[in-house]
């Protein structure tokens, strides 16, 4: 793997952490909402649409992480 | 077309003696959305009583439903090939056909439950006998003594030793868990006391003669006979089901209709001699409704239009509570109609707001297609969608098929003309020709290179990006920009609809403060973010030239927009800014999903190509490689439905519809009889 420097590796690690940690966070958030939403849907099927909206709300956090990762990997912070 | 259909409120007044005819007329028009009468709103009027025929009909329906349950017939899921004539069915009802069927079925059912009970008893007896089987005492010896008491039951251990002191004779079963103790009646209590230490539980012994073993054999043969009898009864029930099923579903439908019609007076106002019905009718159908009612009732009815409901909420404020809510009749063409389903999943739109189905019908398949963006996955989607549209009858499945079909079309267009990709590989690329050399060359694997093809120039020129197509993995920065721009357009559409809704509900001034402020803020935010991106990401000088002007304009617009919005929403408006920024960034998923799929496809292709091309296992390697290729791409394809579908939907719900959609409207439900298993024959009156 000639031509790579430690800095490149650190950028890759940073990008991984950005996505991974954001993913864990979103997962923790979604866990609670999801459980509650399943309960609500069992009671009343017509709530399905509203529950989808609530379940996917924490998901945006991962996208933030992903954008940061993209910026690190492809745009490069000089 | 964008707004739900315009509604008018009418009032129908008539003579109570002709209520049945009026009911039939109301149902036959199929446009009347009844407004339930509220007690106390009109002096001298009260809620009507059900029609006399309805009570009998509901009674019959109840007993028919019981029969349906026993015979497991589900009228909702049954569709007769030849619907019976409604007139015949009515004749059958008057001839007490429901009662006759009920009697016939329940007679057999009674027999069945009798047999089932006997079987239970016989089984219990057999179980007891089995416990006593190894005790060497005949069955008739357990009872019938003048001076002897017999204690039979389960014990923990053999009690013979302990009982030796009281002159008792004890027999135990082979496993020492059952004991039969014969003792003088006077000593019975003593024996019981001793047995208590052995956790004795008394058991009643069935009557009978001879050895227990013989009795078990007899019970077995009786059980066999009973089971045969049960089978016969079951067959009889099946025969009954076959004989009556068609009649039962037709009777059920006809009775449900008369019950519904008969209970109509419970929703309207009646006085001693007259009735009043308030109802909503689509404005376009008002004339036809008035003339239709008058024609059917021979002029013996009075229909008057009360109001044509406008979209302004100010009109609603002064209306009577029961007239406040106007039903929503979504007004869409055959294509957009299928996208009403995802809107209704959230809730039906209000009468006073734009129906977002049409916006969804444009953006939903587009986003889906952009995220899939590969003709290898697009073609199965198109086929599956077309098949679904052709065969599916349920509304839910039709909506899903529609999304798959049009999403697939978009995926094909993007996959071919934008990405130039099939199963995660570009058609053309720089890789060296040949299956293996391609892998070794460390360049982009493409269909052209692995099969050593040479596509003609005109074909190569179709693809953008110098004849390669945009790469989901390498051109991420460009794709991200595209997604963000799409997002900006999408969110602006949402705000524009919000502005329009506010305008028709409250007027221009209110709309400006409610949504106009946000539109200005949003545009400002976009300019601000663009300028910042130029400076921070693309390394341009932020303090000079175009970026500076845009940055300043953006800040000014944001300040203006926020100060407009503050009037309506207070200081909270400032806190909404980061959320708005998040909304825009959220569209990055359009790229992210496509990229994740491309990444998976790349890895899977690598696995299969190594297996096939490197000849790792000769002919077996090729077969396994091809199977792996199919299976792994199937995995991606299935994931595409879930991830691309859900994310495309989410972008509509959360990012766009939250900018304007209120929902919670009441759906327009006209009085209408839907016949499935009965039909009205022309000659009937």
pLDDT of residue B377: 93
What average pLDDT score do residues B352-359 get?
91
What average pLDDT score do residues B397-417 get?
91
> In what side-by-side order are the strands of the sheet with B201-202?
B169-172, B178-184, B148-154, B201-202
Pick among B346, B491, B540 to test the A interface (most A CBs inside 10 A): B346
Which residue of chain A comes nearest to B657, CA vs CA? Answer: A53
pLDDT of residue B386: 94
Residue B684 has pLDDT above 60, yes or no: no
Q: Which of B345, B538, B650 sits opposite A48 (nearest CB)?
A: B345
Q: Where are the domains of chain B?
A: 9-51+263-324, 125-221, 477-588
Residue B215 has pLDDT above 50, yes or no: yes
Long-range contacts of B106-115 (CB under 8 A, 24+ apart): B106/B67, B106/B70, B108/B233, B108/B236, B108/B237, B108/B240, B109/B70, B109/B237, B111/B233, B112/B230, B112/B233, B112/B234, B112/B237, B115/B226, B115/B229, B115/B230, B115/B233
pLDDT of residue B333: 86
Q: Does A44 touch chain B (CB under 8 A)?
A: no
Q: What is the pLDDT of residues B551-587, one digit of tens each?
A: 999 999 999 999 988 888 888 888 888 889 889 989 9
Q: Does B342 touch chain A (CB under 8 A)?
A: yes
Residue B345 has pLDDT above 60, yes or no: yes
Select B9-51+263-324's CATH number: 1.10.569.10, 3.40.50.300, 1.20.1730.10, 3.30.70.240: 3.30.70.240
What average pLDDT score do residues B536-556 get?
85
Alpha helix ranges (H) inside B133-211: 160-163, 188-196
Q: Does B589 touch chain A (CB under 8 A)?
A: yes
- Beta-carbon pairs below 8 A across chains A and B: 54
> What's the CA gap between B617 and B611, in Å, rounded?
7
Residues 6+ apart with CB under 8 A from A19: A62, A65, A66, A69
> What's the CA gap between B656 and B625, in Å, rounded?
44
Q: Does A57 touch chain B (CB under 8 A)?
A: yes
Q: Which of B393, B399, B409, B397 is nearest to B343 (CA)?
A: B399
Q: Does A70 touch chain B (CB under 8 A)?
A: yes
> What's the CA gap between B411 and B642, in Å, rounded?
15
- Taking an 8 Å cut-off on Cβ atoms, the answer to whether B585 and A60 are in contact is yes
pLDDT of residue A2: 56
Report the gap between the CA of B580 and the closest CA in chain A (Å). 12
Q: What is the 3-state secondary structure (H, E, C) of B518-587?
A: HHHHHHHHHHHHHHHHHHHCCCCCCCCHHHHHHHHHHHHHHHHHHHHHHHHHCCHHHHHHHHHHHHHHHH
Alpha helix ranges (H) inside B198-333: 212-262, 286-296, 313-317, 321-324
pLDDT of residue B523: 95
Residue B387 has pLDDT above 70, yes or no: yes
- Taking an 8 Å cut-off on Cβ atoms, the answer to whether B477 and A49 are in contact is no
Tokens coding B82: 């030849």
Tokens coding B660: 């304007």
Q: Does A78 touch chain B (CB under 8 A)?
A: yes
Long-range contacts of B497-505 (CB under 8 A, 24+ apart): B497/B354, B497/B356, B497/B359, B497/B659, B497/B660, B498/B659, B498/B660, B500/B354, B501/B352, B501/B353, B501/B354, B501/B660, B501/B662, B504/B3, B504/B311, B504/B312, B504/B352, B505/B311, B505/B312, B505/B313, B505/B352, B505/B353
What average pLDDT score do residues B608-621 get?
75
- Taking an 8 Å cut-off on Cβ atoms, the answer to whether B654 and A71 are in contact is no
Q: Which residues of chain A neighbour B538 with C-beta distances below 8 Å?
A: 75
* B305 bridge partner residues: B10
Average pLDDT, chain A: 85
> What's the CA gap between B364 and B379, in Å, rounded?
18
pLDDT of residue B55: 87
Q: Does B537 touch chain A (CB under 8 A)?
A: yes
pLDDT of residue B685: 45
- Taking an 8 Å cut-off on Cβ atoms, the answer to whether B653 and A53 are in contact is yes
Q: What is the pLDDT of residues A8-19, one digit of tens each?
A: 888 889 999 999
DSSP state string for B458-480: HHHTTSHHHHT---TTT-HHHHH
% of chain B with per-residue pLDDT over 90: 28
What average pLDDT score do residues B27-32 get?
90
Residue B376 vs residue B679, higher pLDDT: B376
Report the gap between the CA of B675 and the closest CA in chain A (Å). 26
Q: Which residues of chain A neighbour B539 with C-beta distances below 8 Å?
A: 78
Pick among A66, A77, A78 to test the B interface (most B CBs inside 10 A): A66
pLDDT of residue B498: 93
- Taking an 8 Å cut-off on Cβ atoms, the answer to whether A53 and B588 are in contact is no
Long-range contacts of B226-229 (CB under 8 A, 24+ apart): B226/B115, B226/B118, B226/B119, B226/B122, B227/B119, B229/B115
Q: Does B586 touch chain A (CB under 8 A)?
A: yes
The pLDDT-based confidence of B383 (bands split at 50, 70, 90) is very high
Q: Which of B47-51, B173-177, B325-329 has the highest mean pLDDT?
A: B325-329
Q: Which residues of chain A neighbour B653 with C-beta distances below 8 Å?
A: 49, 52-53, 56
Sign for the pseudo-dihedral over CA of B366, B371, B376, B377: negative
Pick among A30, A33, A67, A78 to test the B interface (most B CBs inside 10 A): A67
Residue B287 vs residue B444, higher pLDDT: B287
Report the gap between the CA of A63 and the closest CA in chain B (Å). 6
pLDDT of residue A78: 44
Least confident of B136-150, B272-286, B496-510: B136-150
Report the gap between the CA of A66 and the closest CA in chain B (Å). 8
- Prediction ipTM score: 0.83
Average pLDDT, chain B: 87
Least confident of B289-303, B437-451, B535-549: B437-451
What average pLDDT score do residues B661-679 get?
86
Q: Which of B476, B539, B654 sits opposite A53 (nearest CB)?
A: B654
- In B484-513, the residues whose Cβ lies within 8 Å of chain A are none
- Taking an 8 Å cut-off on Cβ atoms, the answer to whether B592 and A53 are in contact is no
Least confident of B169-173, B425-429, B435-439: B435-439
- Cα B316 from chain centroid (whole Å): 33
β-pairing verdict for B178-184 and B274-282: unpaired
Q: Which residues of chain A neighbour B649 with C-beta distances below 8 Å?
A: 52
Is pTM, for the whole model, over 0.90? Answer: no
Residue B433 has pLDDT above 80, yes or no: no
Residues 6+ apart with CB under 8 A from A57: A29, A33, B654
β-pairing verdict for B678-679 and B84-85: parallel
Q: Which of B344, B653, B658 sits opposite A52 (nearest CB)?
A: B653
What average pLDDT score do residues B54-64 get?
89
């Amino acid at each position: 793997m000639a031509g790579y420097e430690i800095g490149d590796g650190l950028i890759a690690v940073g990008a991984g952490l950005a996505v991974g940690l954001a993913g864990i966070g979103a997962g923790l958030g979604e866990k609670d909402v999801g459980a509650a939403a399943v309960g609500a849907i069992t009671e009343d099927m017509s709530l399905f649409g509203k529950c989808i909206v609530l379940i996917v709300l924490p998901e945006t956090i991962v996208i933030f992480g992903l954008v940061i990762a993209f910026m690190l990997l492809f745009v490069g912070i000089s | 077309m964008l707004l739900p259909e315009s509604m008018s409120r009418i009032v129908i007044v008539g003579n109570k003696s002709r209520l049945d005819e009026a009911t039939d007329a109301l149902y036959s028009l199929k446009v009347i959305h009844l407004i339930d009468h509220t007690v106390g709103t009109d002096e001298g009027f009260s809620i009507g009583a059900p029609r006399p025929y309805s009570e009998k009909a509901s009674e019959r329906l109840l007993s028919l439903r019981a029969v349906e349950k026993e015979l497991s017939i589900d009228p909702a899921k049954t569709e007769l090939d030849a619907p019976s004539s409604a007139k015949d069915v009515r004749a059958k009802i008057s001839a007490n056909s429901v009662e006759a069927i009920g009697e016939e079925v329940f007679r057999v059912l009674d027999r069945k439950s009798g047999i089932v009970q006997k079987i239970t008893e016989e089984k219990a007896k057999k179980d007891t006998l089995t416990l006593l089987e190894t005790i060497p005492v005949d069955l008739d010896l357990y009872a019938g003594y003048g001076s002897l008491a017999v204690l039979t039951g389960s014990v923990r251990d053999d009690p013979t030793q302990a009982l030796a002191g009281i002159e008792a004779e004890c027999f135990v079963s082979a496993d020492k868990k059952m004991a039969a103790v014969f003792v003088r009646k006077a000593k019975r209590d003593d024996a019981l006391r001793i047995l208590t230490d052995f956790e004795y539980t008394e058991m009643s012994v069935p009557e009978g003669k001879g050895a227990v073993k013989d009795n078990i054999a007899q019970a077995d043969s009786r059980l066999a006979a009973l089971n045969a009898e049960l089978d016969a009864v079951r067959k009889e029930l099946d025969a009954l089901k076959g004989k009556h099923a068609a009649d039962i579903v037709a009777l059920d439908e006809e009775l449900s209709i008369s019950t519904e019609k008969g209970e109509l007076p419970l929703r309207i106002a009646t006085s001693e001699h007259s009735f009043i019905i308030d109802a909503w009718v689509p404005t376009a159908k008002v004339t036809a409704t008035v003339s239709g009612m008058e024609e059917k009732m021979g002029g013996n009815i009075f229909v008057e239009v009360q109001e044509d409901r406008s979209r302004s909420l100010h009109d609603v404020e002064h209306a009577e509570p029961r007239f406040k809510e106007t039903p929503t009749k979504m007004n869409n063409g055959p294509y957009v109609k299928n996208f009403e389903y995802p809107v209704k999943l959230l809730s039906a739109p209000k009468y006073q707001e734009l129906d977002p189905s049409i916006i969804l019908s444009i953006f939903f398949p587009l986003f889906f297609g952009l995220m899939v963006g590969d003709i290898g996955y697009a073609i199965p989607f198109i086929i599956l969608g077309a098949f679904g549209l052709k065969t599916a009858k349920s509304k839910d499945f039709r909506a899903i098929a529609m999304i798959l079909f049009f999403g697939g079309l978009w995926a094909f267009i993007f996959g071919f003309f934008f990405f130039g990709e099939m199963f995660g590989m570009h058609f053309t690329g720089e890789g060296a020709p040949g299956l293996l050399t391609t892998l070794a060359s460390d360049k982009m694997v493409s269909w052209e290179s692995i099969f050593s093809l040479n596509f003609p120039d005109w074909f190569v020129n179709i693809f953008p990006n110098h004849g390669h197509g945009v790469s989901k993995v390498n051109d991420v920065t460009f794709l991200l920009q595209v997604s963000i721009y799409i997002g900006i357009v999408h969110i602006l559409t949402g705000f524009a609809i919000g502005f329009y809704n506010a305008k028709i509900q409250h007027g221009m001034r209110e709309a400006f403060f409610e949504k106009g402020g946000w539109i200005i803020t949003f545009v400002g935010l976009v300019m601000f973010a663009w300028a910042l991106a130029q400076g921070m990401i693309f390394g341009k000088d932020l303090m000079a030239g175009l970026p500076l002007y845009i940055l300043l304009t953006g800040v000014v617009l944001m300040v203006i927009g926020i100060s407009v919005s503050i009037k309506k929403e207070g200081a909270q408006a400032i806190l909404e800014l980061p959320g708005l920024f998040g909304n825009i960034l959220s569209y990055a998923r359009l790229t992210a999903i496509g990229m994740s799929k491309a990444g998976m496809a790349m890895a899977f292709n690598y696995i299969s190509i190594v297996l096939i091309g490197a000849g790792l296992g000769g002919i077996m390697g090729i077969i396994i490689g091809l199977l792996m290729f199919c299976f792994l791409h199937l995995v991606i394809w299935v994931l595409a439905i879930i991830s691309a579908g859900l994310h495309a939907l989410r972008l509509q719900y959360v990012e766009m519809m939250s900018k304007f959609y209120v929902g919670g409207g009441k759906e327009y439900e006209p009085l209408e009889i839907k016949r499935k298993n009965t039909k009205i024959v022309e000659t009937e009156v």
